[in-house]
């Protein structure tokens, strides 16, 4: 089963993945961008450069996704895969950044994933105040430097996408206590295994 953790930066996706790993033996942990050897190189280019044309940027994320699909996702579909991000980030960030049409991005992402989409999505949501406080505590990468309004618009687009595509999902409030969030996600996944 392919489970994806989605949400804008600082919502706590990786913290929850680390906590859930202890509850699920033998799960596959992975991430986009950077889940493969090629992906690690692409990730460095994407997050360190900062001055990449939006279409080039979208295509680099798609190259990472194609590689990730074939090397990590497809071979492990019989196991439990917990992935930090997916095509949902791919569409939402690119759509808000450069207003690339969602239809076009969907087509490109179907190509990159060969139609392999997540079985369920854990969608984290965060309010403006909490986001602002959390961003203040870290030095952002090239994408986080685009600011709070951009990130909240990305968050809104992520929610619209899971509805539009009718993907099974669980909405999680990033401001809830860590243990509550872990338990809710654990139950959601367990019911589907
Ligand atoms: P991370 O910090 O969660 O690893 O994600 C790296 C950054 O890349 C984050 O700001 C979200 C962004 N991103 C995109 O812009 N497009 C994508 O397709 C993906 C997967 C991530």
* Alpha-carbon separation of residue 104 from 8, 158, 176 (angstroms): 22, 16, 35
User: Which of 17, 56, 143 has most ligand 1 atoms within 8 Å of its beta carbon, as the pocket-test mutant?
Assistant: 143
Is 24's pLDDT higher than 70? yes
List the beta strands (DSSP E) in 32-190.
81-84, 120-125, 169-173
CATH number assigned to the domain covering 2-192: 3.40.50.300
Summarised one tens digit per residue, pLDDT across range 68-113 is 999 999 999 999 999 999 999 999 999 998 889 999 999 999 999 9
**Exposed/middle/buried for residue 59 (C-beta within 10 Å: 0-12, 13-18, 19+):** middle
Q: Mind giving me the DSSP string for 57-82?
A: HHHHHHHHHHHHIIIIIGGGTTS-EE
Summarised one tens digit per residue, pLDDT across range 159-173 is 999 999 999 999 999
Residue nearest to atom 16 of ligand 1 (CA): 90
pLDDT at residue 45, rounded to an integer: 94
pLDDT at residue 110, rounded to an integer: 98
Summarised one tens digit per residue, pLDDT across range 40-80 is 999 999 988 778 998 999 999 999 999 999 999 999 999 99
In this prediction, residues 139-151 reach a mean pLDDT of 78
* Alpha-carbon separation of residue 173 from 7, 13, 104, 176 (angstroms): 10, 11, 30, 6
* pTM for this predicted structure: 0.95
Tokens of 116: 């392999």
pLDDT at residue 87, rounded to an integer: 98
In this prediction, residues 27-45 reach a mean pLDDT of 97
CA atoms within 13 A on the CB side of 67: 20
pLDDT at residue 142, rounded to an integer: 64
pLDDT at residue 141, rounded to an integer: 67
59 lines ligand 1 (CB under 6 A): no
What is the C-alpha to C-alpha distance for residues 118 and 121, in angstroms, rounded to an integer? Answer: 7
85: left (phi over 0), alpha (psi -120 to 50) or beta: left
Provide the 3-class DSSP secondary structure of residue 91.
helix
User: Which of 4, 30, 82, 89 has most ligand 1 atoms within 8 Å of its beta carbon, as the pocket-test mutant?
Assistant: 89
In this prediction, residues 4-8 reach a mean pLDDT of 98
Is 151's pLDDT higher than 90? yes
Average pLDDT over the chain reads 95
CA atoms within 13 A on the CB side of 22: 7
What is the C-alpha to C-alpha distance for residues 69 and 91, in angstroms, rounded to an integer? Answer: 16
Radius of gyration of the chain (CA): 16
């Amino acid at each position: 089963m392919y489970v994806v953790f989605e949400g804008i930066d600082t919502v706590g996706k990786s913290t929850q993945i680390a906590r859930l790993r202890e509850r699920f033996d033998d799960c596959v942990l992975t991430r986009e961008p950077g889940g493969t050897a090629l992906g690690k190189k692409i990730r460095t280019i994407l997050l360190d450069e900062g001055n990449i044309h939006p279409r080039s940027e979208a295509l680099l994320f798609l190259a990472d996704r194609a590689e990730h699909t074939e090397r990590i996702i497809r071979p492990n579909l019989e196991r439990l895969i917990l992935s930090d991000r997916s095509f949902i980030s791919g569409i939402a960030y690119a759509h808000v950044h450069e207003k690339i049409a969602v239809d076009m991005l969907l087509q490109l992402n179907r190509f990159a994933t060969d139609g392999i989409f997540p079985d369920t999505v854990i969608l984290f949501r965060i309010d403006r105040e909490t986001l602002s406080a959390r961003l203040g505590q870290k030095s952002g990468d090239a994408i986080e430097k685009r600011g709070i309004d951009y990130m909240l618009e990305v968050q809104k687009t992520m929610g619209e996408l899971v509805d539009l595509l009718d993907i099974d999902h669980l909405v999680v409030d990033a401001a809830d206590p860590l243990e509550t969030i872990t338990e809710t996600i654990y139950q959601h996944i367990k019911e589907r295994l």
